[in-house]
Amino acid sequence: MFHKIRRHTVACLCLITILLLLVGCQATEEVQTEPALLLGFSQVGSESAWRMGNTRDIEKKAEECGISLMLENANQKQENQIDAIRRFIAYQVDVIAFSPIVEEGWDNVLSEAKEAGIPVILVDRDISTEKEGLTACLIGADFYNEGVMAAEYLIRKADSLGLDKVNIVEITGTEDSTPMRQRQAGFMDTIKDDERMVVLESINGDFLISRGRECMKYLIETYGDEIDVVYSHNDEMTLGALPEIEKAGFSPGQDMIIISIDGGQDAIDVLKEGKINCVVECTPMLGDKLMETAIKLKAGEEVEKVIHPEEQYFSDEMDLSGLAPRGY
């Protein structure tokens, strides 16, 4: 009997030891396993629902792909982005990605990345440089086409209302950023041959709700009921401008045509209420393409030079009751 118990106990102990070893192995393996890829990403900031949706999407897709993400928020400052890129180089990440706040001023730091042999992906916004081969590719919206879609809507609206003069105020995004330059260029190029269209003023609202409010206050004080159209480069500035229009006794969407860009949930809800007339989509969901491209670059494969997601617009010409939640 005693023997039996001892044999049983020894067998159990052996089994437990083997199990512990196996678990231990696994744990050691987990600790020692290298991530498939280390990606350093410098984000512009947290200025808009778009930006926060973009950050969430990138974090989620990195996790799904088993990519280790070093994420740095530059809080709207180019020098913070430059410092972050230098840290990524020092850390010897596999791939660097960043959303440049403005187009100029990247040559030095990107040359350092190139010398270190680290490929760089531009996310969302472009850079302007004379130097060749500093970046591998750009994954981001076709901002020029967004400006074209906004202007084409305005021309249709002016036709349907039978307007013979259309006074426009433009609230732009961050000066010298790609969306600011391209959304303006696409819009202006499209209206330039339409003699009804007059731009009263373009003013910089920096993509911020607070600046949208300030800009609109100033524009109403300056131009009052002369304003027929507010063309705003993002939803935050539009949402900041609307209360100022109402405070001055005008009905946005009726007395003034309101055109916005981004297509976040809050702006879509206001469009459905009739206070915005048209919202051009700019999707922040760039994470999938970013991960796919980073993996290819690490493997030394060729990648597409420019990747634009497909985008559309939403307007008071459409039935939007079935529109799926926007997710940002």
For residue 171, give the nearest of 199, 136, 148, 134 by alpha carbon.
199
For residue 59, what are its two tokens? 């974090």
The alpha carbon of residue 63 and the mean position of all alpha carbons in its chain are separated, in whole angstroms, by 19
Return the range that interacts with ligand AHR (CB under 6 A); candidates 22-30, 31-39, 43-51, 68-76: 43-51
Measure the CA–CA gap between 253 and 269, rounded to whole angstroms: 13
Residue closer to ligand AHR by CB (options 98, 207) is 207
Within 122-141, the residues that bind ligand AHR by CB under 6 A are 124-125
Min separation Cβ 57 and ligand AHR, Å: 13
Residue closer to ligand AHR by CB (options 51, 211) is 51
Residue closer to ligand AHR by CB (options 146, 228) is 146
Among 38, 42, 47, 297, binds ligand AHR (CB under 6 A): 47
Measure the CA–CA gap between 233 and 212, rounded to whole angstroms: 10
Residue closer to ligand AHR by CB (options 53, 119) is 53
Query: What's the Cα-to-Cα distance from 45 to each of 71, 104, 265, rounded to whole Å?
Result: 11, 18, 20
Among 137, 262, 277, 293, binds ligand AHR (CB under 6 A): 262
Residue closer to ligand AHR by CB (options 125, 275) is 125
- In sequence order, what are the residues at sequence separation of 6 or more whose Cβ sits closer than 8 angstroms to the Cβ of residue 173? 179, 180, 183, 204, 205, 206, 207, 233, 234, 237
Interaction between residue 260 and ligand AHR (CB under 6 A): no
Residue closer to ligand AHR by CB (options 127, 282) is 282
Min separation Cβ 202 and ligand AHR, Å: 16
Interaction between residue 179 and ligand AHR (CB under 6 A): yes
For residue 209, what are its two tokens? 């709700």
Return the range that interacts with ligand AHR (CB under 6 A); candidates 45-53, 101-109, 158-166, 317-325: 45-53
Within 51-110, the residues that bind ligand AHR by CB under 6 A are 51
Among 153, 187, 207, 231, binds ligand AHR (CB under 6 A): 207
- In sequence order, what are the residues at sequence separation of 6 or more whose Cβ sits closer than 8 angstroms to the Cβ of residue 40? 70, 72, 84, 85, 87, 88, 91, 93, 95, 96, 97
Long-range contacts at 188-195 (CB < 8 A, ≥ 24 apart): 188/147, 188/151, 189/147, 189/148, 189/151, 190/147, 190/148, 190/151, 190/152, 190/155, 191/151, 191/154, 191/155, 194/155, 194/158
Asked whether 48 and 207 are in contact (CB, 8 A), the reply is: yes
Residue closer to ligand AHR by CB (options 49, 85) is 49
Interaction between residue 232 and ligand AHR (CB under 6 A): no
Min separation Cβ 129 and ligand AHR, Å: 18
Going residue by residue from 276 to 315, which x/- string records binding to ligand AHR, judged by CB under 6 A? ------x---------------------------------
Asked whether 146 and 190 are in contact (CB, 8 A), the reply is: no
User: Where do contacts with ligand AHR occur on this chain (CB under 6 A)?
Assistant: 47-48, 50-51, 124-125, 179, 207, 234, 261-262, 282
